[in-house]
Copies of this chain bind each other. A is one copy, B any other.
Amino acid sequence: MIQQKEFSLPPFRRGFHLVTDIILESVGELPGEGIMNVFIHHTSAGLTINENADPSVRRDLDGFFDHIAPEGLPFITHTLEGTDDMPAHVKSSVAGVSLTIPISKGKLKLGTWQGIYLCEFRNNGGSRKITVTLFY
């Protein structure tokens, strides 16, 4: 059995944001056992799974991703859409745009400390389109 749903996340400011609850509300009832694939349809944002409790983790992740792919490096040629654009593409490929997560007993089978993050890498990324596919 397969079920697919497309929806949009509200605009978030640049950074890492917990969106587990928004995604679960958008998807509705989960099957008893299966997997859920979450896919973001953009090349300057990403999805990842990380710590769901302390906001300092999200803040520091932002600092680290800027450290990994800084703006203004001398070799960058793709600059027409702003200095935040090309680093955003890099970060998107580092974080990834697709998550596959097990479902068990009608719930997303995340670890105690795991949450789904929207990684917004643009200064003004706007609303982001997501497709969730359930297999069960």
Q: Is the CB of B102 within 8 A of A37?
A: yes
Taking the nearest CB of chain B, how far is it from the CB of A95, in angstroms? 6
* CB contact list, A81-131 vs B, under 8 A: 86-87, 89-90, 92-102, 104, 109-114, 117, 129, 131
Distance between Cα atoms of A117 and B90 in the complex (Å): 13
Distance between Cα atoms of A73 and B99 in the complex (Å): 29
Q: Is the CB of A51 within 8 A of B98?
A: no
Q: Is the CB of B63 within 8 A of A76?
A: yes
Distance between Cα atoms of A6 and B105 in the complex (Å): 13
Ranked nearest first, the 10 interchain pairs of A and B with the lowest CB-CB distance are A41-B111, A56-B78, A63-B75, A48-B93, A64-B90, A43-B51, A102-B131, A56-B77, A102-B133, A60-B78
Q: A42-B111, A59-B78, A60-B86 are in contact. List 13 more A-B contacts (CB 8 A).
A: A39-B100, A39-B109, A43-B113, A49-B93, A57-B89, A60-B75, A60-B78, A60-B89, A61-B90, A64-B69, A68-B94, A98-B99, A135-B135
Ordered by A's residue number, 12 sampled pairs between the chains whose C-beta atoms are within 8 Å are A42-B114, A48-B93, A49-B97, A51-B89, A60-B76, A61-B89, A63-B75, A64-B73, A93-B95, A98-B99, A98-B100, A100-B100
